[in-house]
Structure 1
Amino acid sequence: MIPSKPHRAGHIAVIGRPNVGKSTLVNALVGAKVSIVSNRPQTTRHRLLGIATFPEGQLVLVDTPGLHRDQGRSSASAMHRWMNRAARGALEGVDAALLVVQAGRWDEEDGAAWQLLHQAGVPVVLVVNQVDRLKDKAALLPFLASATEGREFASVHPVSALKRTGLEALVGALLPLLPEQPAPYGEDEITDRSQRFLAAELLREQLMRQLGAELPYATTVEIERFEEDGALSRIGAVIWVEREGQKAIVIGKGGTRLREIGTKARQQMERLFDRKVFLETWVRVREGWSDDEAALRAFGYEEPGMGNRE
């Protein structure tokens, strides 16, 4: 009788510069949408756990905001500084890390992320994402050689998180890096965050997607009410902006844009929560909230190292 492989489980930080597909990768590994995505940098603002369970073990993936070059306190907003702290704080207590980069591109921010992981002293796996977008496939091998030169990685994996290719080999390489221990979470758990938190994120995702460059970072969402009424969830959400003109942009002519944002967010909530949702939204103004540390805390932006359970 062949002895079974030991069960392994542990925490893995997912690190990289903005817009390389970290959240898409986490969602693909988990097999469910736990982290919001858009084509705008800085979509991910909060650190959260995505829990991927397999027969051989459990990956607890720490999804993080994208790392930015530190430009100094005077030139970076409180939001910018907070996201960098959250990304760096994700390395506390992890067993391994994923450095996610875009296929064909390595810049100073990728180098800074590598240095951060190298100094953390944990095994680092290089994930070269978006290989499906690489027009010249012959350029992949030279890029891999350049990215790994002078840098030590536990393994290197070209993948497409969007198309879910290359993920089986990635999981197979990650599990041996983790300690032998029982799974810390149940096999039906996919994140450490509450439905209340996820509802706010799904609404913010639609703001990022539909407003695009008009209003990329001046919005946040606060859930004022989350009640379960039989098979129905009743959710009241406030969309905060920084100026009256931004409020008009979110609402749109005759309220059409706000209704469209709310409808798509509600549909995403119903899909994730597997229940009917009644969603009400309001838009309010709080000047300068993104550069106000107290406002960030009031809106649920926790300090790195704080527990995520709500």
Structure 2
Amino acid sequence: MQAYILAMHTVAVLALDQVIPFDLSTPIEVFTRTRLPDGRPAYRVRVCAEHPDVNAGFFTLRTTWGLDALADADTIIVPGTTHPAGPPSPAVRDALAGAAADGTRIASICTGTFTLAAAGLLSGLRATTHWMAATRLATTYPDIDVDPDVLYVDNGRILTSAGAAAGLDLCLHMIRRDHGSAVAADAARLSVMPLEREGGQSQFIVQQYPPTPRGSTMEPLLRWLDDNLTRDLTLTDIAHQAGTSTRTLIRRFRQETGTTPAQWLHRARIRQAQHLLETTDHSIERIAAQAGFGSPTAFRERFKRVVGVSPHTYRNNFT
């Protein structure tokens, strides 16, 4: 028994100031409740911090282990913080970089991705974070291939996940990697979670129109487009409404919105469809017409491509 305890997989959860309590508790609960087929615990979990007292927003957390415990961990998990743009201390960066150099598996939950990025662990890699912070991550660290649509990304030794419940998806994925599907499925049942969720983070992203500067000359045209989503509009139709040539329209539209008229229309129609799926019991065929799609088939295909799940699944998830 003593030999087994020494060999047990150790998970170190790094608690930074302003840690998000949900992100912190997720790996603690999931890994401490995971059991091997013979009933033995599969993991030993330690909560570590640079200083014993950690500001967790609504309460102060007192930890037992310091940063030196990261060196002894088999897996390090970095939960998100409420202020992800703030860089971690040099001591935290050095501890994470050292652990990565030693081959330790390191994972982040939600905005914990920013901490991994600041430690230089994501350069040249694909990564994800909460969809609301994805643009900031991509802008701050242009050498990272940011994917805002997925629930988690596994690069082998470095893993990242989206926000909140996606941390559960990531933990279950790591358990399946370590001990197989049967152990992971049992952990999923204890968490009242499916072992794999359909779709990715895309289905939770609010499809918003590209921002338009206040006072933009495009504003009247965008309002007209919004009022005419059900029409089969061509680029010529839009240019005629704007009183300009198609070439000038495309140039001005991209300058002021960052996208093309066609892309703007597609996004507006998808958002309209999401609203109707969430708030009405209209048939998929009727919603396809109300949102301006040429056919129910075209609607289903584009909706799944953009949102990540079918209209039917989206309605079941968000009604």
- TM-score range with shorter-chain normalisation? 0.3 to 0.5
**Which structure is higher in strand share?**
1
User: Structure 2 length normalisation: TM-score?
Assistant: 0.32
**Whose Rg is larger?**
2
1 or 2 for the larger relative contact order (CA 8 Å, sep ≥6)? 1
User: Structure 1 length normalisation: TM-score?
Assistant: 0.33
